[in-house]
Amino acid sequence: MKAIIYARFSPRRNADLCESCETQLEHSRAYCKLHKHVIVDEYRDDGFSGATDDRPGFQEALVHVCRIHGALIVYSLSRFARSLEHAITTVRHLERYRAQLISLHENIDTTNPAGRFVFHVFAALDQLERERIAERTSEAMLRHQSAGRLMGALPPYGYREGPPKIVTDAAGNTRTIRMLVEDPDEQAAVAEIARLHAEGLSHRTIAHRMDDSIHEPRGQAWCHATIRRILSRLSDSGTPPHQTEG
């Protein structure tokens, strides 16, 4: 298989613990020789941080390996991408051009089924962690909202923005927190939706009933999706909905 080798070295305090570009290239050349990959070219970025895509050697290596439908050889994923998510995105880009990735340190080789399986496991773990972070963020938002804080750009249906609250931390720094207060008219509409739902009416039927008796939700017509979102948030332990309804 045709191979493009890429190496990156970013000087730091513990530079003696990092593999230089030349060392990375030597390991990659030895790997290619062992596996009979033909080295077409080599690219390197000396003194570039992995936190950015603005690396000339990296960009040239990607273009070249995609053009020849070969394998991009790197010493480790940390030399290749700024994060696992970035690595996954880049590998998917390579696959669109029938190119592959081989990372020596992690023993990843997407040219074969076993290597693709390992990489997909990494991708699944990354997705799981991102979903856990999103879940924790959502739970934190709900806790703040239950305490009357406004978390979005607009108040959720049933509430309006009230007087702000000034808080001071242990260091003496002050900040302003946007607070929610109940809107009597919208709370009456929410109560009516809950009552109709308790009678067993469908979301569409409730929307029709609301059109006949209650003012439009913030200038928009009632619809089954709006009813569903309001009821969904009412069922969440009684905490205010965190998105503007309607």
pLDDT single digits (tens) 97-141: 999 999 998 888 888 887 777 777 776 765 666 667 666 655 666
Q: What is the DSSP letter of 179?
A: B
Residues 12 and 92 in one domain: yes
- Pair 33, 123 in one domain: yes
Beta strands in the chain (DSSP E): 2-9, 38-46, 71-74, 100-103, 108-109, 159-161, 165-168, 174-177, 180-182
81 and 37 both lie in a single domain: yes
Q: List, for residues 205-220, the tens digit of each pLDDT value.
A: 998 888 776 666 776 7
Q: Are residues 51 and 84 in the same domain?
A: yes
**Whether the predicted pLDDT of 39 surpasses 90:** yes
**117 and 175 fall within a common domain:** no
Domains held by the chain: number: 3
Q: Which of 83, 24, 5, 94 is nearest to 50 (CA)?
A: 83
Domain limits for position 80 = 2-127
In angstroms, the CA 13 to CA 26 distance is 23
Same domain, 109 and 201: no
User: Exposed/middle/buried for 4, CB within 10 Å: 0-12, 13-18, 19+?
Assistant: buried
167 and 198 assigned to the same domain = no
